[in-house]
Structure 1
């Protein structure tokens, strides 16, 4: 789906209770974005799953090629892995291995 409102709270709660980390990725500023709505709802339901938010900072973004700007501001797959993997490692003794 491509909408944010109304927030599908039932699905959000179902998945948040069954995972170690919830990660939101948005092509939008983080301030008052989708990730904030997710965090607010989970908090209201006393669901303590950590939430990692990936998105644009709440500041003026200079003009430039979008891939370069995404890399500069940490809106990439690599940035996601860097932010989420340490949280998973804290909760598990299983470590990813290279093939």
Structure 2
């Protein structure tokens, strides 16, 4: 009986995590599409998220941000719509 409760809890947790992942992906798709449709040239900074996560106050928010997924979506949508994406080194 305890094992069945544990399995039920695991399934519920997986559904919850999947829902959050879907919401995040939907938001990123809408945001990147809006940016690409609005601007001809998009310039982003090439940040290293691993270095930013050393700040313990912001680490969780940075990990949840899905920056790599945001960047890949921007890249392929810029190619799709014929727009230009420029990445800038953070040192400058």
Q: Give the TM interval when normalised to the shorter protein.
A: 0.3 to 0.5
Per chain length, whose mean CA-contact separation is higher, i.e. which structure has more relative contact order (CA < 8 Å, sep 6+)?
Answer: 2
Structure ranking higher in helix proportion: 2
